[in-house]
Structure 1
């Protein structure tokens, strides 16, 4: 199984839920630090992954996962999309506002360092009442601070240049799960309901309570209860090499 982390995230984002999956899956984390487009990130996933695999994408990683499905749908056995989206940059003023906000963070990362940027960015990334949770906030900030301002700029460029993945969703013929968080200020429940409506199967939106965008760090127990049964059921619905074929992605 390949896990695709989001913007400036690494294996840390999955750490609290990992033990629940280790008895059942060979788990690998995608590494897209050297890419500056979602398509290239998806290509790197495919280059490192086994022939057929389950795929979990969070935030930007969800958009990368959709690009993987666009490029090689026959290789993905099941798909989980978490706290993500499928639409391109909006037109006109709304799109420019998003670009300005993102590039403001890039400028902050270059001028004051990634840690300073992360301390600002994290304010909208967790449920508001968790902002005083020093251990949680430090975990997120330290994870981002391990990467460079240039990596951040590259990933922001990738997000700004994202394509419309709606046609990918309408064409999927594999088990899919859509997961969001009740207090996610970046990827709303309504946004996920729109994605679910595009799937050919009747796929409900699973909502994690008491969590914001960093759902697996904020509410790992609820995240496990949603993902693990779905992925195990999908595993037994058809052939899946994820258990049997090692992948040279970055190990957990």
Structure 2
């Protein structure tokens, strides 16, 4: 339920670099999302930064065109396939949206219900952050949300790919991330040869917006190392 604004603080700080954000709501599979991202990417090798659902797409990009990825940043994501209990939860949300078709108010309620899982407990009542998350959810919309859920459900297990990743890799996670918990990032960092891991304290899933300065510092070091 995010749009390009999730990267806005990072892009603003890296204005000396050519940055672009791939759409992660236009298709219902990571394969189609990866194909679209590659088609719009600059020619030649590029640095690939991926947040949450974007991480699943990034792994598909690495399967398809590893030679294009000069550096990799994996932020609040996972290499694991979806768990059976997660699939059940996603299917229930999809069914509720499809069956109710309750319009903006119903979707707003669903998006608002996610907030306590998305951010650190200290930011749950942060009105500005909450308003931004709701605005991004509205821009994705119910149909885009369903496509995102389908893509997450159908993603492959990317753990076998980790050993083949050779580029400079940053793995970053909030310690209190409830969506992609810390052990997901630890698993990726231990499986990738050139990985550096950073854990942000007092941070939930929305690291680029909860702690933008820390994410910017980490990503600046990462990109400078390339």
Sort the TM-score into its range (normalised by shorter chain): over 0.9
Q: Which residue of 2 aligns with 1:241?
A: none
Equivalent residues of 1:83, 1:213 under 8 A apart? yes
The two structures, once aligned, show a CA RMSD in angstroms of: 1.4
* Residues 1:186 and 2:179 aligned together: yes
Q: Within 5 Å, which residues of 2 pair with 1:180-219?
A: 180-201=173-194, 203-219=195-211
Structure 1 unmatched runs, 5+: 1-7, 235-252
Q: Given the alignment, which residue of 150, 157, 175 partners 1:157?
A: 150
In 1, Cα distance between the equivalents of 2:29 and 2:64? 14
Equivalent residues of 2:76, 2:172 under 8 A apart? yes
* 3-state DSSP of counterpart to 2:157: coil
Q: Which residue of 2 aligns with 1:240?
A: none
What TM-score, normalized to structure 2?
Answer: 0.92
* Residues 1:144 and 2:132 aligned together: no
What TM-score, normalized to structure 1?
Answer: 0.83
Residues 210-219 or 99-108, more deviating: 99-108
* Alignment size in residue pairs: 220
* Residues 1:31 and 2:7 aligned together: no
Structure 2 unmatched runs, 5+: none
Equivalent residues of 1:109, 1:117 under 8 A apart? no
Residues 192-201 or 215-224, more deviating: 192-201
* 3-state DSSP of counterpart to 1:146: helix
More helix by share: 2
Q: Within 5 Å, which residues of 2 pair with 1:1-252?
A: 8-23=1-16, 25-51=17-43, 52-90=45-83, 95=84, 97-110=85-98, 111=100, 112=102, 113-201=106-194, 203-234=195-226
How far residue 108 of structure 1 moved from its aligned partner, in angstroms, is 4.2
Query: After superposition, what is the alpha-carbon deviation per residue over 1:38-96, rounded to whole angstroms, capped at 9, x for unaligned?
Result: 01101111111112211000000011111101110001110000000011133xxxx1x
Equivalent residues of 1:79, 1:176 under 8 A apart? yes
Equivalent residues of 2:24, 2:54 under 8 A apart? no
